[in-house]
């Protein structure tokens, strides 16, 4: 008979939860996401868009879809949103194979190190749709570090268009997976934009900024980040600074 890893007394209780953003935090897709959005808009609705006037970084795919629809006078009916996002996912798979993306400094090393800490649970908190997150992580060999089954820890655009509402979903899923109620002060949300920091603050979690995207250290500090790193390449230093080990 199998052992319940989340609740079995033979295993240490998880007390800290680390949630990662994906784009510009774990990886850079080489612009695959933006290209997939523009192709989907053209193919599904016959409209051209360069996304220059629409904020992308740190926003959810549902929020982005709404802004694109507003810019082009498209009714945001559920069937239109579904048509557009399905097109986006189809194009994303193709564009990920065409663009020269890369993993960002510290990956996958930091995920391996965190997996070795018995008190730490790891998951995702991302503006990507769940399927989009899977495609991106799989393309860069990161899928095995996260779970996408029924017990997956994380939150995605599928849960809400508002990134600030994603934290409770991730916390509840971590509770269900590990049988532990993670205190807000023991939850770390790691991302590259002020929106990630605001998402952390919405649930009184620790906001960890990484200046690997378009925002500087100063911008992340001004947003109220509890910790800011240039990147996550100093794995031991990051873990020590965050107090995870």
> pLDDT by residue (tens digit) across 33-62?
999 999 999 999 999 888 878 888 889 999
Strands (DSSP E) contained in 6-62 are: 16-20, 27-28
> pLDDT by residue (tens digit) across 74-107?
999 999 999 999 999 999 999 999 988 999 999 9
> pLDDT by residue (tens digit) across 141-193?
999 999 887 667 999 999 999 999 999 999 999 999 999 899 999 999 999 99
Contact 182, 204 (CB under 8 A): no
Task: State how far the Cα of 63 lies from the Cα of 57, in Å rounded to an integer.
Answer: 11
Contact 169, 176 (CB under 8 A): no
With a pLDDT cut of 90, the percent of the chain lying above it is 85
Tokens 């908190």 locate to 125
Contact 169, 163 (CB under 8 A): no
Q: HSE on the CB side for 241, CA within 13 Å? A: 13
Contact 157, 62 (CB under 8 A): yes
What pLDDT is stored for residue 14 in this prediction? Answer: 93
């Amino acid at each position: 008979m199998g052992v319940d890893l989340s609740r079995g007394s033979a295993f240490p209780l998880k007390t800290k939860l680390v949630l990662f953003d994906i784009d510009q935090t774990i990886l850079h897709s080489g612009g695959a996401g933006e290209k997939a959005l523009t192709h989907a808009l053209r193919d599904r609705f016959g409209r051209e868009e360069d996304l220059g006037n629409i904020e992308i970084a740190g926003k959810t795919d549902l929020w982005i879809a709404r802004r694109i629809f507003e810019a082009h006078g498209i009714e945001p009916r559920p069937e239109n949103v579904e048509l557009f996002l399905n097109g986006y996912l189809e194009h994303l798979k193709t564009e990920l194979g065409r663009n020269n993306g890369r993993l960002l400094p510290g990956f996958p090393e930091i995920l391996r190190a965190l997996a070795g800490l018995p008190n730490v649970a790891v998951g995702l908190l991302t503006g990507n749709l769940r399927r989009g997150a899977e495609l991106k992580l799989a393309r860069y060999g990161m899928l095995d570090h996260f779970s996408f089954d029924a017990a997956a820890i994380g939150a995605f655009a599928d849960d809400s268009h508002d990134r600030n509402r994603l934290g409770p979903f991730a916390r509840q899923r971590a509770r269900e997976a590990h049988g532990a109620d993670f205190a807000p002060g023991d939850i770390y949300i790691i991302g590259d934009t002020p929106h990630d920091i605001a998402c952390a603050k919405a649930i009184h979690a620790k906001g960890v900024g990484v200046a690997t995207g378009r925002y500087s250290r100063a911008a992340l500090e001004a947003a109220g980040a509890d910790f800011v790193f240039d990147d996550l390449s100093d794995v031991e230093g990051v873990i020590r600074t965050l107090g995870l080990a």
